[in-house]
Amino acid sequence: MDSEESEPRKDLQPICVPFVLGFLLTYTQLRAVAAKWLSHEVLASCKDDYTLHFRVVDVVQAKKERCTFLRTTDNSGEPRCLWVLRVIPSFDGKRPKYRMPEASIQRVLNAFGFDTISPLLVGSLTLT
- Per-residue pLDDT tens for 88-107? 888 887 888 877 777 877 77
Residue 50 lies in a domain: yes
Cβ(112)–Cβ(8) below 8 Å: no
Q: Does residue 107 fall inside a structural domain?
A: yes
| Counted domains in the chain | 1
Which run of H or of E encompasses 59? helix 49-63
Does residue 125 surpass a pLDDT of 60? no
Task: Look at residue 114 and tell me if it is in a domain.
Answer: yes
Q: What's the rounded mean pLDDT across residues 85-90?
A: 85
Residue 8: pLDDT band with limits 50, 70, 90: low
Residue 5 lies in a domain: no
Can you give the residue range of the structural domain that contains 73? Answer: 17-127
The Cα–Cα gap between 33 and 41 comes to 15
Q: Does any domain span residue 80?
A: yes
Most confident of 41-45, 73-77, 99-103: 41-45
Residue with the larger pLDDT of the pair 100 and 18: 18
In this structure, is residue 63 part of a structural domain? yes
The answer as to whether 60 is a domain residue is yes
Report if residue 3 sits inside a domain: no
**Mean pLDDT (the chain, rounded):** 77
More confident: 127 or 33: 33
